[in-house]
Amino acid sequence: MLVTTMIHSRLQSCALIAGYLFYLLMGALIFQALEKDAKREQQRTVLRMKEDFLKNITSLSPAEVEVFVENLMEAVRMGIYPVGNGVPNERSNWDFSNSFFFVGSMLSTIGYGNLSPKTAGGQLFCVVFALFGIPLNIKTTRCLTLLFFLVMGILVFLCVPSAIFRKMEGWSYGEAIYFAFITLSTIGFGDYIIGRQQGKDYFPGYRILVAIWIIFGLAWIALLFNLLTTLLEDPEEIPMEEYLQVKTVPRKKRNPKRDASLGFPLEDDLT
């Protein structure tokens, strides 16, 4: 039952991550389809505005120049740069890579603002996509955080220190991994000890750095063991405290009138 629960939990995590990636991919493709043509039309409009400005630059009033500058700044803010010979850029801002970056920044609620949907369909889809995508992103982020904690901890506290121990102590990499885990798990057989090799020239502070590694490594592996213990627990198992809990029955208060009617002496009469 416990093994089945663990397998089921791992399959759920994998399905969650795969579903999240599929959600991002589909969102990027849909935004690309909705916004790509509209973006190119905006580019053509800005380039026509630029051409008209250059043709009539000598006859424009200060107010018309001010309007042109404002429209130009708005175009730059939207990611349109009207530079060059007036030929529209074939590479759209809503290609797949930019669309994927947009959906990722939107679901993470960062929202840089340099890219945003302009069509009615794109804006409506943005609302629906974010409504379901943000909770999915939060749940997936928690799962990825645990995975990142595990992978980075193995690299920082086991793999990299083991490579250093292999070089400093002359051990094989397998022996160095063995020593690192036995040390951090506080098993401590004592068959491998650092800084005791005869003829080895250890750099100053080597044992101090090892002590610092042990302090932080103990904290990491304690959190890891606690996490694994939590994952191994059966969620349907009743805690032992419920079995050991002693239920106390409250004592009923004695009714003096009833005791007197039955002929029993009351505690006040005895005193």
Using alpha carbons, list the distances in angstroms from residue 13 to 8, 38, 103.
9, 38, 22
CA dihedral sign, ordered 176, 179, 182, 185: negative
So what's the pLDDT on residue 2?
54
Measured CA to CA, the distance from residue 60 to residue 69 in angstroms comes to 12
Note the pTM of the prediction, 2 decimals. Answer: 0.62
So what's the pLDDT on residue 234?
54
Owner of token pair 């400093």: 168
Nearest to 116 by CA among 94, 97, 90, 96: 94
- Which residues of the chain are modeled with pLDDT < 50? 238-244, 246, 262, 264, 266-271
List, in order of start, the domains of the chain with CATH numbers: 15-118 (1.10.287.70), 149-236 (1.10.287.70)
- Contact yes or no for 25/152 (Cβ under 8 A): no
CA dihedral sign, ordered 251, 257, 261, 266: positive
So what's the pLDDT on residue 267?
46
- CA 165, distance to chain mean position in Å, is 32
Measured CA to CA, the distance from residue 93 to residue 157 in angstroms comes to 43
